Amino acid sequence: MRRRTLSALAVGVSSLALLAGLAPSATATGDREDRGGGAHENSTRAYKRVGYFTQWGVYGRNFQVKDLETSGTAAKLTHVNYAFGNVGSDGKCFIGNVPGEADAWADYVRPLDAAGSVDGVADTADQRLAGNFNQLKELKARHPGLKVLISLGGWSWSTHFSDAARTPASRKAFVSSCIDLYIKGNLPVDGARGGAGAAAGVFDGIDLDWEWPGSEGDADTVFRPEDKQNFTALVREFRTQLDAYGATLKKRKRYELTAFVPTAPAKIDAGFDVPRIMRDLDFVNLQGYDFHVSGEKTTAQQSALFADGDFSVHQTVRDWQRRGAPARKLVVGMPFYGQGWTGVTGGGDGLGQPAAAPAPATWSPGYEDYKVLKKLADSGTYTLHRDRRNGHAWLFDGTTLWTYDDPQVLRVKSAYVRAQGLGGAMFWSLDGDTPDGELITAVDRGLDGR
């Protein structure tokens, strides 16, 4: 399989100024959009800035919705994708309190005090909506142009997608259940919380994160050869029902529909009829990371912009474009974390060398938030290495290696987005950034050409 780097662009990676100078004009790259109340009302092009907020991040990481406000991140985003909503064995969206499957407490039950609330007002015992959903609603009140989407699935919760999408009847029921729960906001009653319309107005659309139609995902995730055609039909059903519901509102509303999509050409071909789904999707978030992961036996880059004969951001963009995706609907995923290995042997800078195991980390072996890696880089115990031609960085102390994106790498990637006329940038996940939003600021400035 050929994944060649275009020489002119590869040379351009070493020069941020060159890439920025190649950026097309707004009229050449797509439609402008209203981002009222945001920091970019006068930007030459409204690039999308999509950040995933994790449901579980409010616990161990203690990353709250309010942190999006205090860090300045909310003002730099166009979209917040709430991760995740689950699909039950009955093929319908659901919320509840089931360990490992659903967390209504985090979603809409948990009360926030005044110090933890976006608006500085404590939740009351009798209000119908609390938790993350209410805080997102408060955040939108502060930033009227900000859109919040519910992201369905993810690696662990894609288990029943194939079943839900299998027939016209199952698709119709699945989509209807998701719209009822998240768009109409009809939440299950949990004490004083929930009820009909309790979460109305929180979500502005749906993000489909089925990993992966037609090919292997998590161990218990079902996949079938017919997933490709069924995913296409599912996207069409979501578009149809979202449009129909939006047309019934007193103030007509168009709800957005997006998807997270893979980098591997084999997975693209197995599950995605690109020209047809792109007609119904507002945009797709490209997998721009996990090209290599800490479970592998050899260290490697996880998110390079260019890489001869290997996965890369540029290869992902080109593979989607070759299959019919318009550039303006391609949003490049950027990691706010790193992949790491320990027991690395072979010397040198550590890259491409045998490793014994995933590196020890705060929450999960081999996976570490950028804010922690920044401290390692500043500690003096690690050497920071850069491949300026191919656009990636890594830390190595002689034994342990972490591959990750820092502000310098993200500025280059942002310039690439501009130069290629792409739709914008996506971030997994917002809780990995520093308290002052160092990474989101680098991308924000890069997309604005600052």
- Asked if 328 and 23 count as a contact pair (C-beta separation under 8 A), the reply is no
Q: CA 266, CA 262: separation in Å to the nearest integer? A: 9
- Per-residue model confidence as pLDDT tens digits over 76-106: 999 999 999 999 999 999 999 999 999 999 9
- What is the CB-side half-sphere exposure of residue 341 using CA atoms within 13 A? 27
All residues at 6 or more sequence positions from 148 whose CB lies less than 8 Å from its CB, including other chains: 79, 80, 81, 82, 136, 139, 140, 202, 203, 204
Catalogue the E-assigned strands of 241-382: 256-261, 283-286, 330-335, 337-342, 357-358, 367-369
Which of 52, 32, 33 has the alpha carbon at shortest distance from 144? 33
Token pair 């190595």 is at which residue? 396
Please confirm, yes or no, whether 211 is among the known catalytic residues. yes
Token pair 């894609």 is at which residue? 158
| Sequential pLDDT tens for the chain (450 residues) | 322 233 333 333 443 433 533 333 332 333 333 333 344 433 335 899 999 999 999 999 999 999 999 999 999 999 999 999 999 999 999 999 999 999 999 999 999 999 999 999 999 999 999 999 999 999 999 999 999 999 999 999 999 999 999 999 999 999 999 999 999 999 999 999 999 999 999 999 999 999 999 999 999 999 999 999 999 999 999 999 999 999 999 999 999 999 999 999 999 999 999 999 999 999 999 999 999 999 999 999 999 999 999 999 999 999 999 999 999 999 999 999 999 999 999 999 999 999 999 999 999 999 999 999 999 999 999 999 999 999 999 999 999 999 999 999 999 999 999 999 999 999 999 999 999 999 999 999 999 998
First to last CA, the chain: 37
- Strand-pairing partners, residue 298, are 354
Q: CA 45, CA 53: separation in Å to the nearest integer? A: 24
| This prediction's pTM | 0.92
**pLDDT confidence of residue 38:** 44
Write the class of the CATH domain 7-336+406-447. Answer: alpha beta
- Strand-pairing partners, residue 330, are 284
**pLDDT confidence of residue 45:** 55
Per domain, the residue ranges of the chain are 7-336+406-447
Q: CA 329, CA 274: separation in Å to the nearest integer? A: 12
- Strand-pairing partners, residue 22, are none
Q: CA 187, CA 86: separation in Å to the nearest integer? A: 14
CA of residue 435 relative to chain centroid, distance: 19
Helix (H, G, I), strand (E, B) or coil at 209: strand
- Strand-pairing partners, residue 251, are none
Which of 211, 216, 226, 237 is catalytic? The answer is 211
Q: CA 268, CA 317: separation in Å to the nearest integer? A: 12
Which H helix or E strand runs over 16? helix 16-21
For residue 410, count other CB atoms closer than 10 A to its CB.
28
Which of 10, 1, 83 has the alpha carbon at shortest distance from 412? 10
Q: CA 291, CA 30: separation in Å to the nearest integer? A: 28
